[in-house]
Structure 1
Amino acid sequence: MNNALRPIGFIADDITGATDLASVLATRGVDVRLAFGTDMLPADTGDAVVVALKIRSVPATEARSAAQEAAKALQAVGAEQIFSKYCSTFDSTAEGNIGPVTDALIDLAGSGRVVHCPSYPANGRTVYQGHLFVWQELLSDSPMRNHPLNPMRDPQLRRVLAEQTPHAVDSVYLSTVDQGPGAISDRLAEIGAQHTEAHHVIVDAVRDSDLDKIAVAAADDRVAAGGAAFGAAFAVAVHERSGRDLAADPRVSALPPGPAAILAGSLSRATQEQVRNFDGPTLTLNVQDLVDGEAALRKAADFVENRISDGPMLITTDHNSFGASIAEGLSSAQVSRRVELAMGDIAVELERLGVRRFIIAGGETSGAVAEALNLRSARIGPDISVGVPWIVAEDRGLALAFKSGNFGGPLFFSDALERAGK
């Protein structure tokens, strides 16, 4: 890294989003560091530092506070520009947390605007005329409409964001983006002239090249926000404007050897199919045992201890037993939280037994496992699929793949193990 060039600071609202972003940054030649929490920033910052938080579904006041603390820590290591990374499906409720988090960064950085672009064309997320699509479906027609924590039933992002912030929200449409960075800059200036206070601007993008154009227009902004693909485009634009030559090839770390285990806590259809396609030893834990915690831990320890030398193992949840637990007096959120904590405890026990490679399926499960393992920082390893890399916690001798529930193809687990090598 050119020492005269300051790193860009990225704040991700969950673990899988952070690893997704770090992977895309590395693919585009950005020398990136990944930190699991505000207190874990490495001294060697590289070109970019991604701080992984767990704030997507927490109360808005807690999310604001955590984001500001992360931003202050990033500023302390030299970052002058901050990017708020959220899910490409704009996961949030009327209360937030996309609006509250970006507003917190506006307050801290004194930014006059925030350009938003959640589009992630490689994963089928695009914004057209201000509406978010998941492949060919409007967001409101996709499986996200029934998300257990953040159901997304309005694809009009300007309207969604306006419910979360007191600041004005405006749009730049594809017809302007098609004309290039100059036209985008002119439109952003026009919008800025209409507002005396800080404001938000949601920009259409349907192709990767659209993201690059938007990033060039926003490269001087103190705060920007969006999905992983726009975050990487923003980093490239900022560094190129500063005269930085990015690496021609991604910089990836080798994975440490050792036994592998898969922990699947996600309820998504994609993960369920991936579980069905795994042909190795499998332990299915019912939700009652996971809610109890100790029962699930005992079963998992016995299962792994007897099979650790036989190859990769899978520990998953019995999705059909969720309703019974809720009927016994626990809310869906309470059940989910207990399952996450149990999966975290299981991961700690598996590390003690000798597992050195973990595949974690599910955003909330990933956050719980990272917290339970007390991960500090990591380097990026080889990509498994779009948005999912292996990462290497070099201080622990661990390799981990944190997968959002909906990411990856039907054979994701076998693909991940193949990419890991021997």
Structure 2
Amino acid sequence: MRLGVIADDFTGGTDIASFLVKGGMQTIQTNGIPVSEERYEADAIVVSLKSRSCITDQAIEDSLTALTWLKQQGCTHFYFKYCSTFDSTAQGNIGPVTDALLEELDQSFTLLCPSLPVNGRTVHYGNLFVKGIPLNESGMQDHPVTPMIDANLLRLMDNQAEGRTGLIDYQTVDKGVDAVKDAILGLKKEGYRYAVIDAFYESHLATIAAASDKLVLMTGGSGLGFHLAQLYTGQRENIESAAQLNPVKGAVVLSGSCSKATNEQVKVYRDLAPSLEIDIDRCMQDQSYPACVSEWVMTQQDLPLAPLVSATVSPEALLNIQQKYGAKQASDQIESFFSKLTHILKELGVNTFIVAGGETSGVVTQQLDVAGLRISHEITAGVPWVVPTEGCFNITLKSGNFGNANFFADAQEFLNV
């Protein structure tokens, strides 16, 4: 089998790619949909889109284009990768994209499996928990783009998708592969188009992977990736050693996420390294501001740890910014700032980027003009260093809620300074 993955953002792409490599699959990750007809030699190909929070019609179009390209690459099975916290608005884009992929593949059913137990994302009776806390109480209710105000995945999916969503509970999963397969057949006969499946142990994910071998399309978080890789490769050993990182010529930490985890990481790192908090007023009004910040970054390059440029703020401060400028306008301007800053730093010779936040990761990788990525050393579960298939950059793209409090410093222990 050759697996094609459609990831709805860049951090999600590197997340699942790292699990596939760990599970034994040679994996290539692309930055967007490649325009060349070159055939990639790999067991799995991950196409990273920027479709999580864009207009739904655009998310569908991009996902279907990615699917067509993956088919041309010889992929026979497909995985729609979204965040383990099911990030989406009331309108989508998870439901509409899943519907479009099912229709294009002429399939009538798929599973929803966002569980990532190693990072505390679990599903119990169809409700999503983050380290034991219901999703809508975990801090995700304050997400600036996709606030999650309901933990029940069945309701979330039914509200944004065309079909009906069933449940396969953990008691069924505990009974083993045949029980899950019987449950899938039963739900299909009853007219369900999707099923949320409970999982809070790695053994649950292994069972789900084995039970889904006949499904052409699967959807979920990265946790299932390792077990699908083990299934498809016959549980062979990891056959791809970590890609070699490039010598560091200049480094920077860019944090655009306002998640609870990233707030803690920024707080810890400020005590270890030089840091600069973005001036939102200047970001919104001063076109020269990225150049000014780049000058500051370059003056900090001789220190043990890379300088931090941060737009990470508390939920209260974020609310004030959104009320003053508008949520979309503020988000767009901050993305534009990071995009321009990345471009300037690249021109100045910086080649190592530690990035927090899915939207920020998207604009950074676009500015670096990275076409394909190989997986290097894993910093923490789901967050590896990556290097371009062409070029001399070192990049790590961290989803906002991933990593321990010392993540930014831990990441730099792998670098060849």
Q: TM-score, normalised by structure 2?
A: 0.93
Decide whether aligned partners of structure 1 residues 319 and 174 sit closer, same or farther in structure 2, where only a CA change above 3 A counts.
closer
Residues 1:65 and 2:61 aligned together? yes
Once the two structures are superposed, what CA deviation does each residue of 1:158-206 show, in whole Å capped at 9, x if it has no partner? 11101111212111111110011111111111112222xx711111111
Residues 1:270 and 2:270 aligned together? no
Residues 1:79 and 2:75 aligned together? yes
- Report what 1:251 is aligned to: 241
Residues 1:234 and 2:228 aligned together? yes
Letter in 1 for 2:110: V
Q: How far apart in 2 are the matches of 1:343 and 1:167?
A: 39
Letter in 2 for 1:224: M
Residues 1:383 and 2:378 aligned together? yes
Q: How far apart in 2 are the matches of 1:216 and 1:54?
A: 30
Residues 1:393 and 2:393 aligned together? no
Secondary structure, aligned partner of 1:126:
strand
Decide whether aligned partners of structure 1 residues 327 and 159 sit closer, same or farther in structure 2, where only a CA change above 3 A counts.
closer
CA contact (8 A) 2:24 2:229 kept: no
CA contact (8 A) 1:85 1:231 kept: no
Q: How far apart in 2 are the matches of 1:92 and 1:181?
A: 30
Alignment of 1:12-411 (within 5 A): 12-39=7-34, 43-195=39-191, 199-240=193-234, 246-248=236-238, 251-258=241-248, 259-278=250-269, 279-292=272-285, 294-311=287-304, 312-317=306-311, 319=313, 326=322, 328=324, 330-411=325-406
Letter in 1 for 2:197: V
Q: How far apart in 2 are the matches of 1:318 and 1:271?
A: 7
Q: How far apart in 1 are the matches of 2:322 and 2:159?
A: 31
Q: How far apart in 2 are the matches of 1:324 and 1:169?
A: 37
CA contact (8 A) 1:129 1:173 kept: yes
Letter in 2 for 1:286: D
> Which piece of structure 1 moves more, 250-259 or 298-307?
298-307
Secondary structure, aligned partner of 2:273:
coil
Secondary structure, aligned partner of 2:384:
strand
Letter in 1 for 2:19: V
Q: How far apart in 1 are the matches of 2:184 and 2:232?
A: 17
In the TM superposition, residue 418 of structure 1 has moved relative to its aligned partner by 0.6
> Which piece of structure 1 moves more, 78-87 or 367-376?
367-376
In the TM superposition, residue 291 of structure 1 has moved relative to its aligned partner by 2.2
Q: TM-score, normalised by structure 1?
A: 0.92
Letter in 2 for 1:380: I
Decide whether aligned partners of structure 1 residues 394 and 310 sit closer, same or farther in structure 2, where only a CA change above 3 A counts.
farther
> Which piece of structure 1 moves more, 130-139 or 119-128?
130-139
Q: Which consecutive aligned stretches of 4+ in structure 1 deviate over 6 angstroms post-superposition?
A: none
In the TM superposition, residue 17 of structure 1 has moved relative to its aligned partner by 0.7
Q: How far apart in 2 are the matches of 1:223 and 1:168?
A: 17
Q: How far apart in 2 are the matches of 1:319 and 1:144?
A: 14
Decide whether aligned partners of structure 1 residues 194 and 236 sit closer, same or farther in structure 2, where only a CA change above 3 A counts.
same
CA contact (8 A) 2:24 2:233 kept: no
Secondary structure, aligned partner of 1:79:
coil
Once the two structures are superposed, what CA deviation does each residue of 1:105-144 show, in whole Å capped at 9, x if it has no partner? 1111111211111100001011111111111111122111
CA contact (8 A) 2:139 2:259 kept: no
CA contact (8 A) 2:6 2:46 kept: yes
Q: How far apart in 2 are the matches of 1:293 and 1:46?
A: 45
CA contact (8 A) 2:262 2:312 kept: no
Q: How far apart in 1 are the matches of 2:321 and 2:108?
A: 48
Decide whether aligned partners of structure 1 residues 94 and 272 sit closer, same or farther in structure 2, where only a CA change above 3 A counts.
closer
Decide whether aligned partners of structure 1 residues 318 and 238 sit closer, same or farther in structure 2, where only a CA change above 3 A counts.
closer
Q: How far apart in 2 are the matches of 1:109 and 1:291?
A: 44
Decide whether aligned partners of structure 1 residues 239 and 113 sit closer, same or farther in structure 2, where only a CA change above 3 A counts.
farther
Once the two structures are superposed, what CA deviation does each residue of 1:334-392 show, in whole Å capped at 9, x if it has no partner? 11111011101111111111111110111111111112222111100101111211000
Once the two structures are superposed, what CA deviation does each residue of 1:379-408 show, in whole Å capped at 9, x if it has no partner? 001011112110001411001011111211
Letter in 1 for 2:311: T
Secondary structure, aligned partner of 1:202:
strand
Q: How far apart in 2 are the matches of 1:275 and 1:190?
A: 48
Q: RMSD value over aligned CA atoms?
A: 1.9
Specify every segment of 5 or more residues in structure 1 that has no aligned partner in the other structure, as ranges.
1-5
Letter in 2 for 1:266: S
Q: How far apart in 1 are the matches of 2:35 and 2:116?
A: 28
In the TM superposition, residue 318 of structure 1 has moved relative to its aligned partner by 6.8
